Structure 1
Amino acid sequence: MFTLPEQFSNAAKANFEAQLSLITNLTSKAFESVEKVVDLNLNVAKASLEDSSIAARQLLSAKDPQEFFSLSAAQAQPAAAKAIAYGRHLAGIATSAQAELTRATEEQIAETGRKMTALVEDVSKNAPAGSENVIAIVKSAIGNANAGYEQFNKTAKQAAEVIEANVNSAVNQFTQAAEKTTSRARK
């Protein structure tokens, strides 16, 4: 049987190790997301340079102003479509990263909550007589902390959904504006 200080010391050590593990996991997920964004940007930059070169050659080969403006209008739609695809891909990376970070955090907090509950139960079995009120207060505090976390988690998920909806709305509005501009430029 452990003494009370040893139980708390072991619990504190386990909690510290769990937090370190969580931070390492979150940092790893964040770097993976940054790597995806960097790869996306490099690919977009390469494609943009190639497209710009081709477009410049086409525009320079125009025989008259009408052909020049016709070629310019024809290039606007693919550029807008690529910008929209880029925005969607970037939003996908952000959404995926947010989901992974949330999942990892939820798992860690749930595990920590289980460990704390087990510790309190174990300590309460070995507690001296007359300490029932203190144990009840600790259990209540843990319950309130878990309830607070649940509410925070729900609010964070709702905020993420609103942000995702706003990004999708902005992309759709940009798409519609680009299509209108392209159709006007063709006329």
Structure 2
Amino acid sequence: MFAFSSDQFAEAQKAHVANLFALTNTAFDGFQKLAELNLQAARSALAESQDSIQAALSGNGLQDAISVPGKLAQPAAEKALAYARQVYEIASNTQAELSKTVEAQYEQHNRSVQNFVDTFVKNAPAGSEALTALLQSTVAAANNTYDSVQKATRQAAETVKSNLEASAAVANGAVQQNARRAGTAAKQ
């Protein structure tokens, strides 16, 4: 029949460990980029807070102090949108890298399973046709399921991306409109 050698088992384990580390490193790279972005955003927010407080305190009167937040509203909202875009990009790129690794691992696993099934079918004793047909149909069904999940995942990612872009456009328009209103109100 078919014997699974210890060398084949060892090679499979090495491949699984290598894939685990590849996935882990990709995830850590994404977390690192996100942490760096958050530190940058925190530093920027602290510097802007300091500047706005100094601007409010150095004004010539109450009108100058009141107008400072209105002047800072649009840049703050734009920065928030830029931050959201950067978070999305980091998450999207990390997810894409993870997907590539998982797909490569799945393809390798699929080839191994197909080789096993082919060898099993070739060496199957007479009268085991039903078992070999069941094994082949099970592998085919698993492949079809995987393909369906991959397609659905891609569609969901595309939908999220288009919704984010639409939301960003609407938010950007609202920010600009509010900034114009604040500028008009500060002049009065």
Q: Normalised by the size of structure 2, how large is the TM-score? A: 0.88
May I ask how many residue pairs the two structures share in their alignment? 184
Whether the 8 Å CA contact 1:25–1:104 is kept in 2: the answer is yes
Tell me which of 137, 140, 143 is aligned to 2:137: 140
Work out whether 1:21 is the aligned partner of 2:26.
Answer: no
Work out whether 1:167 is the aligned partner of 2:164.
Answer: yes
CA distance in 2, matches of 1:149, 1:12: 24
Q: What letter matches 1:174 in structure 2?
A: A
Q: What letter matches 1:113 in structure 2?
A: N
- Give the root-mean-square deviation of aligned CA atoms: 2.0
Name the structure 2 match of 1:90: 87
Greater mean deviation of Cα atoms: 120-129 or 86-95: 120-129
Work out whether 1:126 is the aligned partner of 2:123.
Answer: yes
Cα distance change of structure 1 residues 14 and 142 upon mapping to structure 2, 3 Å threshold: farther
Tell me which of 164, 173, 176 is aligned to 1:176: 173
Residue ranges of structure 2 left out of the alignment (5+ in a row) = none
Q: CA deviation at 1:110?
A: 1.2
CA distance in 2, matches of 1:179, 1:8: 67
Work out whether 1:42 is the aligned partner of 2:39.
Answer: yes
SS of 1:129's equivalent in the other structure is coil
Residue ranges of structure 1 left out of the alignment (5+ in a row) = none
Q: CA deviation at 1:177?
A: 1.7
SS of 1:7's equivalent in the other structure is coil
Q: CA deviation at 1:10?
A: 6.3
CA distance in 2, matches of 1:79, 1:30: 30
Name the structure 1 match of 2:60: 63
Name the structure 2 match of 1:77: 74
Q: Normalised by the size of structure 1, how large is the TM-score? A: 0.88
Cα distance change of structure 1 residues 154 and 11 upon mapping to structure 2, 3 Å threshold: farther
User: In percent, how many aligned pairs have the same letter?
Assistant: 32
Work out whether 1:104 is the aligned partner of 2:104.
Answer: no
